Chain A
Amino acid sequence: MGFRAKITLAGAALVALGVAAAQAEDKKPISWWYETAAPENQEALQKLLVEPFNAAHPNEELSIDFRGAELDKQLRIAMLSGSGPDIVYTAGPSYVAAMAQAGQLLPLDDYAAKLGWNERILPVFIELGKYNGKLYALPKTYETLGLFYNKTLFDKNGWKAPTTIAEMEKLADEMKAKGMVPFAAGNADWRPTNEHYVSIVLNSIAGPDNVYKALKGEIPWTAEPFVKAIDKLNEWWQKGYFGPNYFSLTGEQAFAQIATGQAGMAPTGTWNFQNVPRYFPQNNAEPAFIGFPSAEGVPSPIYALGIGSTFSIANSSENPEGAAEVIDYVFSDKFYGDINTVWQGEWNTPLKDLSKVKIGAEVLPLYGETMKSLADAVGKNQYGYTTWTFLPPATDTYLVSGMEEVWLGKITTAQFLEKLNAAFLEEKAAGKVPAIPAR
């Protein structure tokens, strides 16, 4: 190869490098820190979100960083130093309020208008993501609480799904008489499991209207409806409805007992749909899910809304437009159908209209039907409030262990609610209560 040829080749290489560098510089990075995800679910996100999004947006480059169970701690420290991710993924609205108050989040109102989120997302969740009148967060998924049961077991025993508290208690007593555990439940791996049941009784016994008033500060948490609700939950505990192993079982072990027939019902959340494929087929059992029955005078069923996680955009983000596009992609019909085909229970994005969503045929129809019923009920304002989504952080944290104190006879219902109310008032005064949409 001659000297001139070598020079030409070197020049071509330099030009190629320059072009490559220029092309690389055109792609704007979008970072998103995610929580824990099993390997197959990480792969699903890569294939169904990252790759399609990057393909549809050649100038953007989304990357998801799986931070595991420590996400929320790392996120808070990073946000403080201004080096957090573009898409801020939090454990719920109570954290959003604090971050918005601290000026760490970007208002999303303009993106909501431009990208049509106000029309596609259920209004209650738009309102819920607001702080001081501005939109700061949107739910990645919304969940609710209800009653799972083993339809096969029910048919075999001639049992019908309960529609009232009295019917449910009668069923529970029959189950106990047969040596079953009425309520499959366990908090050995996640102590805040306790508040699933507190949320259920607050909404189904005390009623969501009263919960709303308490969250607004119009009535105290020590009011009579809440005393009745907590007393009812304590009564169920004392009757042994939760079984002898509540503090020893993990949530998944407890749910498995529904499939095996060791337990009759499971008052729990829609996130457990992700455990249905693992346990029900191998036990030749069919699951069913209904809203939890309500006390007399309370509309039935009440779907208590929980938001397991939210999206926001960091105020310090250098690519907020890209981050907004990612959020917009997550709220598409196609993504909803694709991700829920392989990963149920974690990606119920709050779309108003699920009629155009196509979930794969291999997924239990019960799941899609449940999500549609939920969206319809929410659209009609027939919803309630979970404690982990609507209570401020310290109040919510106290509730978890405080309920155990009631169950184990260390304090009375009145004392529990007194402490809860005191914590709530303190945090309300400090502006820590998430926005409560008008009912």
Chain B
Amino acid sequence: MWLYLAPTLVINVVIILIPALLTIGLAFFQWDGLSAPVFVGLGNFVSLWNDSVFWTALENNLIWTAIFLTIPIAMGLLAASMLLIVPRRGSTIFQVVYFLPVIIATAITARVWQGMIYSPVTGIFGWLGKLGLPLTNPLSQTSTALFGIATVDLWHWWGFLCVIFFAALRQVPQEQIEAARIEGASFWQMMRYVLLPGIRSTIVLMMVMTVIWSFLVFDFVYILTQGGPAFSSEVLSTLAYRKAFYDLNVGQAAATALVISLFGLVATYFYIRIQQREGV
């Protein structure tokens, strides 16, 4: 029987395990990606510890996680619950509309927001500025750059959560909903006592995945600000990328990647614990 699993196991080892071990190994070497690696023990981690940009990036990943654990999930849940009220054909249309941003390529979404919305020259912000409503491009300010990027990703992402939650909500037993309705439950009471508990496992899963994805965030940051201005929107992935390909410091890039993995593992650990508890 084990033989049937062997091919997938081989693929997993070759494609996932070996690169992962290489990354872990490289974190303890100084390597420029060209000459021979030199073992430096914990030197790369010490360098990261002393690097203020690393801490800024970590802080930004935590902020990003906090944003994405709250706003898009709330938006998705609210929209999904409202879709329950809409007749089936209408909800399908809304689902398609909400889902569209997810399937647009990241680079295109980012450039559309940068050039058509945020830009003071070619964007809606610029147009509003001419109308006497001056709005500052959030990507150009240190205090708002990260939030400007998060807004783009939010727009891109919340509809996906909505569709997931809507699918889950439709699995809630109809009898429970009918019983609550008969008992005169309000919309909010229905949400709190019937719907949310009913899809709790889906919400928890999405929150865990959100933590993991939040530490992996790279694409919108890289395209929109490259971590600027003045490192204000730097995240761990863009830091690792720059260290690997611009600083020619693959070892520290690998060490940074390990830190990212650490947070993912913590999230995974909590998810498994929750699952086990609920399973009992």
Contact = CB atoms under 8 A, between A and B. Distances in A.
Interface of A: 72-73, 76, 79-80, 98-99, 101-102, 104, 187-188, 191, 244-249, 253, 393-394, 397, 401, 404-405, 407-408, 410, 430, 432
Given A101-B34, A394-B247, A397-B242, A248 B230 contact: no
21 contacts: A76-B33, A76-B34, A76-B245, A80-B34, A101-B34, A102-B34, A104-B34, A187-B228, A188-B139, A188-B140, A191-B225, A245-B137, A247-B139, A247-B228, A248-B119, A248-B139, A401-B228, A404-B229, A404-B231, A405-B230, A432-B248
Contacts of B120: 244-245, 248-249
B35 A394 contact: no
Contacts of B59: none
Contacts, number: 80
Given A191-B226, A401-B230, A101 B142 contact: no
Given A80-B33, A245-B140, A248-B140, A401 B121 contact: no
A407 B230 contact: yes
B114 interface: yes
Contacts of A393: 246-248
Given A188-B114, A188-B139, A247-B139, A408 B229 contact: yes
Given A80-B33, A410-B142, A404 B249 contact: no
A323 to B, nearest CB: 20
A408 B142 contact: yes
Nearest to B143: A408
B247 A99 contact: no
B245 A98 contact: no
Given A404-B230, A410-B142, A72 B245 contact: yes
B227 interface: yes
A410 B242 CA distance: 21
A433 to B, nearest CB: 13
Interface of B: 32-35, 53, 114, 118-122, 137, 139-142, 225-231, 242, 245-249
A128 to B, nearest CB: 19
A389 to B, nearest CB: 15
B121 A102 contact: no
A179 to B, nearest CB: 14
A86 B228 CA distance: 36
Contacts of B118: 248
6 closest A-B pairs by beta carbon, nearest first, are A247-B140, A404-B230, A394-B247, A102-B34, A248-B137, A405-B230
Contacts of B139: 188, 247-248
Given A80-B34, A98-B32, A410-B142, A404 B228 contact: yes
Contacts of B231: 401, 404-405
A246 B228 CA distance: 12
Contact of B230 (A104, A188, A408): A408
Nearest to B134: A244
A162 B93 CA distance: 63
Contacts of A249: 120-121
Nearest to B123: A248
Nearest to B121: A253
Contacts of A253: 121-122
Contacts of A394: 246-249
Contact of A246 (B34, B140, B225, B226): B140
Contacts of B246: 393-394, 397
Contacts of A79: 34
Contact of A101 (B35, B53, B229): B35
A248 B245 contact: no
Contacts of B227: 191, 401
Nearest to B244: A73
Contacts of B119: 188, 248
B35 A191 contact: no
Contacts of B228: 187, 191, 247, 401, 404
A76 B32 CA distance: 10
A149 to B, nearest CB: 20
Contacts of A247: 137, 139-141, 228-229
A87 to B, nearest CB: 18
Nearest to A94: B248
A80 B34 CA distance: 7
A394 B228 CA distance: 17
Contacts of B53: 401
A101 B248 CA distance: 13
Contacts of B140: 188, 245-248
B63 to A, nearest CB: 17
